[in-house]
Amino acid sequence: MGGAHYSYTLVEARFVELFRRLGYDTRTLSDPQRVKDRASGQFHVAFRSSENLRVVPGAHNICHFAWEFDVLRDASLPSDPILPNQAHMLGLFREIWAPSSYTLKVLRGVGLSQTVLVPTPVCETSPQPRLEARAILQLIGSLPAIPLRFSSEASEVENLELAQRGLCHLGQVPAIADRLAGGEGRIFLVVCNPGDLRKNLLNTIDGFRSVKRPGDVLLVKLVVANTGDHLIEAQHRYLRPLYRGPAAAADRDVYFVTHFLEYVQMQALYNLTDFYISASLCEGFNLPLLEAMAHGAVPVATTSTAMADYIFPDNSVKIGARPYIGIQTGMAGEVAGRPFVVQAPSRYDVASALRRAQQLTERERRDRGEVAAATVRRLYSYETVGRLVTERLAARPAERAA
**Residue 301 lies inside a defined structural domain of this protein:** yes
Assess whether pLDDT exceeds 90 at residue 183: no
**Residue 126 lies inside a defined structural domain of this protein:** no
Q: How confident is the model at residue 395 (pLDDT cuts 50, 70, 90)?
A: confident
**Residue 293 lies inside a defined structural domain of this protein:** yes
Sheet with 144-151, side-by-side order of all strands: 168-169, 144-151, 248-257, 217-222, 187-192, 275-278, 298-301, 317-318
Is residue 249 classed as helix, strand or coil in its secondary structure? strand
Q: How confident is the model at residue 86 (pLDDT cuts 50, 70, 90)?
A: very high
Report pLDDT for 37: 66
Assess whether pLDDT exceeds 90 at residue 388: yes
Residues 257 and 191 in one domain: yes
Residues 203 and 187 in one domain: yes
Q: What is the 3-state secondary structure (H, E, C) of 222-283?
A: ECCCCCCCHHHHHHHHHHHHHHCCCCEEEEEEEEEECCCCCHHHHHHHHHHCCEEEECCCCC
Residues 107 and 235 in one domain: no
Phi then psi dihedrals of residue 389, to 5 deg = -65, -40
**Residue 182 lies inside a defined structural domain of this protein:** yes
**Residue 2 lies inside a defined structural domain of this protein:** no
- Which has the higher per-residue pLDDT, 169 or 79? 169
**Residue 17 lies inside a defined structural domain of this protein:** yes
Residues 154 and 171 in one domain: yes
Report pLDDT for 140: 97
CATH number at residue 237: 3.40.50.2000
Report pLDDT for 1: 52
Residues 372 and 395 in one domain: no
**Residue 128 lies inside a defined structural domain of this protein:** no
> pLDDT per residue over 339-368, tens digit each?
999 999 999 999 999 999 999 999 999 999
pTM listed for this prediction: 0.94
Residues 336 and 386 in one domain: no
Report pLDDT for 5: 46
Residues 22 and 82 in one domain: yes
Residues 159 and 208 in one domain: yes
Phi then psi dihedrals of residue 289, to 5 deg = -60, -45
- Which has the higher per-residue pLDDT, 188 or 397? 188
Q: How confident is the model at residue 398 (pLDDT cuts 50, 70, 90)?
A: very low
Q: How confident is the model at residue 164 (pLDDT cuts 50, 70, 90)?
A: very high
Residues 190 and 57 in one domain: no
Report pLDDT for 65: 96
Mean pLDDT across the chain: 92
Q: How confident is the model at residue 40 (pLDDT cuts 50, 70, 90)?
A: low
Residue 236: which domain range? 133-379
Residues 80 and 205 in one domain: no
What DSSP character marks residue 217?
E
Domain count, the chain: 2
Assess whether pLDDT exceeds 70 at residue 39: no
Report pLDDT for 58: 85
Q: Are 230 and 160 in contact (CB under 8 A)?
A: no
- Which has the higher per-residue pLDDT, 180 or 18? 18
Q: Give mean pLDDT, residues 77-88.
A: 90
Residues 103 and 246 in one domain: no
Q: Give mean pLDDT, residues 213-235.
A: 95
Residues 145 and 260 in one domain: yes
- Which has the higher per-residue pLDDT, 10 or 251? 251
As a whole-number percent, the residues of the chain with pLDDT over 90 amount to 80
**Residue 1 lies inside a defined structural domain of this protein:** no
